[in-house]
Structure 1
Amino acid sequence: MDHEVVGCFVLLVIITLLSVVQNAFFASKVELESKSYTSKTFQRAGPSAFERVFTANQNCRDAYPTFLAVLWCAGLLCSQAPAAFAGLIYLFVRQKYFVGYMGERTQSTPGYIFGKRIILFLFLMSVAGVLNYYLVLFFGSDFEMYIKTITSTISPLLLIP
């Protein structure tokens, strides 16, 4: 594969692989919690600790396809570095949500809200990339440099809680 082409999306691939490892970690926590309350079989009904871990894992898995879609769209259509940065922050936030959910459910709320904000940022980056594509196609006006500058400037603001 061409080295230049790989460079265009290597950060997105790294974030995607990290998210896969995180999903495997969450699944292993569910399996471990399940086995600690039952012998060797996995069963859905169980003690409240198992229910919390299982529900946290389900919630993270439900948001995962949306995260991947907006991560890749934002990175390919807008700018790879800010999208990868937002994706990395999202993985940390998702970890905070998962751990918070295992404790008190109210501890998971900040992670949930922060995660929604990052998904919105990635979505807006994707929309900006699509709009720029059609502006170039129909009018010949390319705002790619402006969009990259704005997203690079705004992405560190995602760290503000």
Structure 2
Amino acid sequence: MTLEIPLLLAAVSLFSALQMGYLARQVGLARMTHKVMPPAVTGPPEFERTFRAHQNNVELYPVFLVVLWTSGLLFSEAQHSIIFLVFEVPL
């Protein structure tokens, strides 16, 4: 019995982790731009939108990863990788 390495699932996971890092960096830049010092989470509307976008992703990221890996390993890896990759790409 051979065990296949789920490269597509790993690639989608890596892409999503890079997206989380990008969003975290955007929050840091917004903090500097609008002079909002941590731990404050309120400020100008532009900062709050950036912060909430990142926070919404942080809140649902564990669910995203669990569903990605579970569905990808139990069903079609390629099909679920494409579905979740489309889900990750911002419109």
Band of TM-score, shorter chain:
0.7 to 0.9
Per-residue deviation, 1:62: 1.3
Aligned residue among 25, 28, 31 for 2:25: 28
Aligned match of 2:58: 61
CA distance in 1, matches of 2:73, 2:51: 33
- Which structure carries more relative contact order (alpha carbon 8 Å, separation 6+)? 2
- CA offset digits 1:12-55 (Å, max 9, x no partner): 0000000000000111111100111117x433221111011111
Matched, 1:5 2:4: yes
Q: Gapped runs of 5+ residues in structure 2?
A: none
Amino acid at match of 1:47: P
Equivalent-residue separation in structure 2 for 1:63 and 1:44 (angstroms):
19
Provide the aligned length of Structure 1 versus Structure 2.
89
Aligned with 2:14 (options 17, 20, 24): 17
Aligned position for 1:120: none
Normalized per residue, the structure richer in helix is 1
Cα distance in 1 for partners of 2:66, 2:9 equals 11
Structure 2: how far apart are the matches of 1:59 and 1:35? Answer: 21
TM superposition score normalised by structure 2: 0.88
* SS of equivalent to 1:5: coil
Structure 1 length-normalised TM: 0.52
CA RMSD of aligned residues (A): 1.7
One-letter identity of the residue aligned with 1:35 = M
Code of the residue aligned with 2:58 in structure 1: it is R
Unaligned runs of 5+ in 1: 97-161
The Cα of 1:4 is off from its aligned counterpart by: 5.5
Aligned match of 2:47: 50
Which residue of structure 2 aligns with residue 79 of structure 1?
76
Opposite residue 4 of structure 2, the aligned amino acid is V
Residue aligning to 1:37: 34
Deviations 1:73-117 (A, max 9, x none): 11100110001001110111xx23xxxxxxxxxxxxxxxxxxxxx
One-letter amino acid of the structure 2 residue matched with residue 79 of structure 1: S
